[in-house]
Structure 1
Amino acid sequence: MAARSEFVRAAKEEGDKQGATAIGKFRKPSLAAWALNLLARKARPDLQRLENLGVALRDAHGRFDGETLRELSKQRHQVIRALVSEVRSLASGEGQKLSESVLRDIETVFAAALADPAVTEVLLAGTLSATNDLTLPQAWPESPEPVVDEVGLRREQRAERRRQEIGRARADAQHTAEVRDRAQSALSQAEQKAERAARQIADLTAELERVRATEQEATNEVREARTVFRTAEKAAERARRHLETLE
């Protein structure tokens, strides 16, 4: 502010009233803005790394690349912590001790810069007077979990459906295999039963043939015995009549 007053005085001495008025309107920067301007002047490459990380984060966010977002999220916290430490060190070198509240404001600005490239451009210019207009209600999500990886989600859904189909197919295959085994066992038992029945039929058939042969033999014997009986009966009748004649 002392330098601003000196420039105003010099402009007036040179007769540049308009310039003196413009210089006099420059606002006194807040301590956070001053520290950030100091960082832009003395550690510009660090801010450029923040800029590059912001580009990568926004690109991954736009592509719903959850895996890349998780990796970049780790870098995000590391970069912001490193920048906050650098700001504290630079301010200390200039004789200024930054409070925790100022450091939190500065950290919020870094988070906003990751989400909005316009904020990064303002930071790199190194002409801040305040930081309130640079912070965003939600500069960047703390975790990539809220980001839906649509491609990965659909892939996982297809994989889950595939796993379910395979599970059902395995269950069906196991069930049909069990049914087949039971049917095979029943078939084997039926075949054995049929074989026993066939043997019984063969045995009964053979026995029937033997019985028929015995029956035929007995029938022949009956026929012969009847013939003999009739012959004997006739002979007996003749003998009886002959006897009656003699008496």
Structure 2
Amino acid sequence: MRRNEVRDGGEGDVEAALDELYALPPSDFVARREELAAAARTAKRADDARRIRAARRPTLAAWAANLLRRSRPDEAERFLELGRALREAYAALDPSGLKELSAQRRRIVSELSRQAAGLAREAGHPLSDAVQRDVETTLRAVLADPEAAGLWAGGRVESTLTPPSEFPSDTSGAQDTARKAPRAPARTPSAPAREKDELAQRRVERQQRLARAREAAREAEERLRDRRTEREDADAALERARGQHREAEQRVSAAENQLRDARAELERAMREHGEAEERGRAAAAALSRAERDAEGTARQVERAAKGTE
């Protein structure tokens, strides 16, 4: 589909529209989102329009991670498979498996983050060191968290994904967990079942509070990102208005200069016209005097001629 083509119907249009949006650089995201949402509204697809309008512009790091997923599908699938294997090994507390997989993880995360930076640079959006570190953090989260893996697999990451704190950041942490596990005191057979239930309930409540806090933080981040987008759009509009104002001032200044030149030319023409009229009046007066003098001289000549007869 051409970049400026707007869809106008079809069951899968909203998914295709979202895929297109998250493939765009962040600077193009908002304008295209509004175009696609407006097209969906025009086509009487209100639900699709709401879903499109609800899409949030990705950060530069998230866009680079999405770009990597789309541009390197085979490597991305292997990376997702590595994440599944790593999570299974951690769940089974298999130190030998973790050691091998963690070494692969470090190499692959480093290599894929470099590939993401290269792809972003080729697309005209080079990544700073801080942004590339955010890409690495997102890739580590994809390995550690199945929810993050699913989000990245769909190519619609919006912001930097963070690995869960309970997942080991390196091999030694997992090995320590494995070594400590046998030494953990076992619960005596006589412990009441009620205590187990209370502990489980508290654990569930903590997880729920954590989930609510994460959701609140995500919503706050989305609102902040929207406000930043609005500020960027306002700054761009202000800069355009300033440019137009400067151009208008330049045109006004040029017009004023032309008006001054025209007025000066008019004044010169009026002076010359007045001087010409004055010369014309003087010439007419001189001509009239000359004609009278000529008539007087002619009469004198005529009288002189009669006196000699």
Question: 1:37–1:128: 8 Å Cα contact kept in structure 2?
Answer: yes
Match for 2:170: what amino acid?
Answer: E
Higher relative contact order (CA 8 A, sep 6+): 1
C-alpha deviation, 1:124, in angstroms:
0.5
Q: Summarize deviations over 1:180-232 as a string: whole Å, max 9, x none.
A: xxxxxxxxxxxxxxxxxxxxxxxxxxxxxxxxxxxxxxxxxxxxxxxxxxxxx
Partner of 1:136: 164
Alpha carbons of structure 1 residues 99 and 10: separation in structure 2 relative to 1, 3 Å: same
Alpha carbons of structure 1 residues 74 and 17: separation in structure 2 relative to 1, 3 Å: closer
CA distance in 1 between counterparts of 2:49 and 2:93 reads 52
C-alpha deviation, 1:81, in angstroms:
0.6
CA distance in 2 between counterparts of 1:52 and 1:9 reads 39
**RMSD between superposed Cα atoms in Å:** 2.7
| Residue 178 of structure 2, aligned match among 138, 143, 148 | 148
Partner of 1:72: 101
Q: What SS class does the counterpart of residue 9 from structure 1 fall into?
A: helix
Question: 1:112–1:140: 8 Å Cα contact kept in structure 2?
Answer: no
Alpha carbons of structure 1 residues 26 and 85: separation in structure 2 relative to 1, 3 Å: same
CA distance in 1 between counterparts of 2:181 and 2:45 reads 63
Q: What SS class does the counterpart of residue 146 from structure 1 fall into?
A: helix
Question: 1:4–1:24: 8 Å Cα contact kept in structure 2?
Answer: yes
Alpha carbons of structure 1 residues 59 and 8: separation in structure 2 relative to 1, 3 Å: closer
Partner of 1:62: 91
Greater shift in the superposed pair: 82-91 or 135-144: 135-144
Match for 1:87: what amino acid?
Answer: A
Alpha carbons of structure 1 residues 29 and 147: separation in structure 2 relative to 1, 3 Å: same
C-alpha deviation, 1:10, in angstroms:
2.5
C-alpha deviation, 1:143, in angstroms:
2.5
Q: Summarize deviations over 1:121-159 as a string: whole Å, max 9, x none.
A: 111101122235x54335433123423258999xxxxxx
Question: TM-score, normalized by length of structure 1?
Answer: 0.53
Unaligned runs of 5+ in 2: 1-28, 184-309
The question of 1:25 aligning with 2:50 is answered: no
C-alpha deviation, 1:83, in angstroms:
0.9
CA distance in 1 between counterparts of 2:87 and 2:45 reads 46
Q: What SS class does the counterpart of residue 147 from structure 1 fall into?
A: helix
CA distance in 2 between counterparts of 1:97 and 1:151 reads 45
Which residues of 2 match residues 82-97 of structure 1 at below 5 A? 82-97=111-126
Which residues of 2 match residues 39-188 of structure 1 at below 5 A? 39-132=68-161, 134-144=162-172, 145-149=175-179
Q: What SS class does the counterpart of residue 36 from structure 2 fall into?
A: helix
Alpha carbons of structure 1 residues 106 and 139: separation in structure 2 relative to 1, 3 Å: farther
Among all aligned residue pairs of Structure 1 and Structure 2, give the percentage whose two residues are the same amino acid.
33
Question: TM-score, normalized by length of structure 2?
Answer: 0.44
C-alpha deviation, 1:65, in angstroms:
2.6
